Structure 1
Amino acid sequence: MSTLFVALGDRLLVCQTDAQRGSDWRVLSTLESHELECVVASSERPDRAFAGTFENGLVRVHAPTDGDDISIEHLETPFVSDAVMSLAISPHDPDVLYAGTEPSRIYRSTDGGNSWTHLSDVTDLPSSDEWYFPPRPHTHHVRWLEVDPFDPDRLYVGIEAGAFVLSTDGGETWEERPAGSRRDNHTLAVHPDREGRVYTAAGDGYAESDDGGESWRRPQDGLEHTYCWGLAVDPSDPNAVIVSSASGASSAHSVDTAESYVYRKTDGEAWTRLDDRGLPTGSGVVRAVFDTTNEGSVYALNNRGLFRSDDFGDRWERLQLEWTDGYESQTPRGLVVLE
């Protein structure tokens, strides 16, 4: 069975199919009264997901099996606020979960979200006085969390906006703003087969690292729109990357003024814009979010629907899901694909 967790602005869709290519989908909706920020799930525990919301804290979602309905739990947490902006599940243990909040704090659970520990405070870093989120300039938040697949104690953090932050000791200490790193990091990624490789799609451009985030390079050639958001890496090729990007925040996120694009880069090549490949881009399309499968497929979610490519972006096919006008007016918050 394939299960997709689709986080829109005002609901979570759980899409399931038994068909090999997903032609017959069952779609269930939950958390309609919540403002979603993120969603995570693990292939080792496909029966559950975790959703972060802006005003209702952290929710554990139990995916339906054998035709059952979705069930949800609002978890009791010691977080500094109910604004859960980012989540990550450790690739080393599906019960180890990280959460990032607004204002910027980072927490860890080792029992699947039942209890939590506040890691050392990232706001003690020297640059924290410069961090701010433009729509709410009095504050900032942890936009993305990533756990290194080769070292469970190595953590990568994107602060929106202000810094890339990393820890080599499980969050006991933090390092900030290494050479070449971006400031407005939106989406981070790692590669399961390339130790040390880290990627970021940031508001101030794209960057990648080969030494676990200690230093960064910025391949920008061909990237005409540099406000980057969504990010996907080919599981079979660490040098093949897809990003969604726009000219700025308004054209990325606001449906009324949206104009976003998708670019792809391979080893030694400039970025190429993926126009006319079956994936909507351009005027009226908000920036996409992505997820990949171990089989090499990449999925894209934007306000026009859900799409799949089996050749890493050469051609895209729309998933045959009911996509209402209400969905077209929303900016996607997250996507998890379990196959």
Structure 2
Amino acid sequence: MEKESLQLFLLAADRLLRCRWDGKSENVEILNSALDGETVREVVRDPFNEKKLYAATLTEIHVSEDDGATWQWLPSGGIDRRDIWTMAVHPSRANEIYVGTLPAAVYVSENGGRSFRELAPFRSLPDYDKWTFPPGAHVAHARAIVLDARVPDEIIVGVEEGGVARSSDRGATWEDISGPPSATAFPKVNDPAGIVPYEMGKHEEGRVYRDVHWVMRHPTRLEVLFASTGIGTYRTDDGGKTWSKCEYGMGRAYAIPMINHPAVPDRIFLGAAENGPATWAGHRTVRAGPYNTVKFSRNALAETGGAKSQILRSDDAGRSWTFLKSGLPAGHEHMTCGFAGHPDDPDTLCVGYTDGTVYASNDAGASWERLVVCQPKLYGVRLMRAA
């Protein structure tokens, strides 16, 4: 593979597709399919070895030593909650990998994924026993992990549905940074048997909504965080003491993926939808074992028209938003599943939808073109410089 080319990874419910893209044209070359039969949650590069990549699937961790051409399974002993939802590699400590799971727990490996230990104090957070999730058995999961070289001992975790938590000492202790304490943010009883019905939460002034899907830190202001949730996107300017809701003129404003513009610190791209998951066309998120509750999902596609998802951009750190429409489907019935930024060109990025379509922009979202590649049941997209 030429040094100047890019690798586009398509993370799907049944494989990992590795592609070559020049970063400009619509043409994409499929190089290989890997991890067949696996639901791929994440692919990240080792910051200390450009040829080494890690992949997290629904139940396993894999490593590639040749830039994604081949993969080897890692034993990853110690992860006893085997529904993996997210993975992050520490940017400044070699071989340190974090994993978030369902049921909600956080694990760390300090030997490159061969073994893990649980950061057990995470499960001692005050409202942990009340964290919930719509399908029975109403079990929350750690969905997002944020690490930052500027604060190397800090770990921020977004929980669906549990809010946002932070450790400042590598996981020894934790604090809830979802905003002011609330007696009504969670159900009084969270019944794992599913006999007590799920209770949807409500927006509370000063707090982030508990259903957190994505957490992102401002690139130049450590205390500014963003969280996408099931009823919109939130921002904190004080490290989680208080949160405010970003307004962008959508119905439910169900939001998932976000990405920063690397050269314009206040510029944010967001994928959001008018409607919630019961309305979405196509594939629903996979869960493992007893948590595979797809059969309980209501399908309201016919009566709603689907997700009606949109791509938005803010140039003032979430205070105002613009809908990006040129070249993109208007009100897509499928949900957006992820963004990927070009490692060298800050104005180039890709966005994927769950039907497998991928669009690219070379002008910071002003216009988009569909790429000639499609991987159904798409979960995410990642864009990396070829090693």
TM-score higher than 0.5: yes
- Unaligned ranges ≥5, structure 1: none
Distance 1:24 1:227 in 2: 30
The 8 Å contact of residues 183 and 204 in structure 1, kept in 2 or not, is answered as no
Q: Aligned pair 1:312/2:364, yes or no? A: yes
Distance 1:49 1:274 in 2: 32
The 8 Å contact of residues 247 and 319 in structure 2, kept in 1 or not, is answered as no
- Unaligned ranges ≥5, structure 2: 181-206, 284-298
**Offset of residue 189 of structure 1:** 1.5
**Offset of residue 263 of structure 1:** 1.8
Distance 2:45 2:6 in 1: 13
**Offset of residue 269 of structure 1:** 5.4
Residue in structure 2 matching 1:219, options 246, 251, 257:
246
- Quote the residue 2:322 is aligned against: 272
- Quote the residue 1:249 is aligned against: 277
**Offset of residue 239 of structure 1:** 1.9
Distance 1:283 1:291 in 2: 19
The 8 Å contact of residues 79 and 117 in structure 2, kept in 1 or not, is answered as no
Distance 1:287 1:147 in 2: 24
3-state SS, counterpart of residue 372 of structure 2: coil
- Quote the residue 2:172 is aligned against: 172
**Offset of residue 188 of structure 1:** 1.4
Distance 1:291 1:94 in 2: 24
Residue in structure 2 matching 1:59, options 54, 58, 62:
62
CA deviation profile, 1:114-133 (whole Å, cap 9, x unmatched): 23232133221121122122
**Offset of residue 9 of structure 1:** 1.3
- Quote the residue 1:301 is aligned against: 352
Letter in 2 for 1:16: R
CA deviation profile, 1:164-189 (whole Å, cap 9, x unmatched): 11111111111112342231111111
3-state SS, counterpart of residue 333 of structure 1: strand
**Offset of residue 143 of structure 1:** 0.7
3-state SS, counterpart of residue 334 of structure 1: strand
Letter in 2 for 1:178: G
Pick the structure with greater CA Rg: 2
CA deviation profile, 1:179-221 (whole Å, cap 9, x unmatched): 4223111111123333333221111310122333343222214
Tell which deviates more after alignment, 253-262 or 243-252: 253-262
Q: What is the CA RMSD across the aligned residues, in angstroms? A: 2.4
CA deviation profile, 1:57-81 (whole Å, cap 9, x unmatched): 222234458xxx4233243321122
Q: 1:20 to 1:207 in 2, by over 3 A?
A: closer
Q: 1:62 to 1:237 in 2, by over 3 A?
A: same
Please show how residues 130-209 of structure 1 align to structure 2 within 5 Å: 130-176=130-176, 177-179=178-180, 180-209=207-236
Distance 1:190 1:313 in 2: 20
Percent of aligned pairs sharing the same letter:
27
Distance 1:49 1:163 in 2: 29
Distance 1:24 1:43 in 2: 26
Tell which deviates more after alignment, 285-294 or 180-189: 285-294
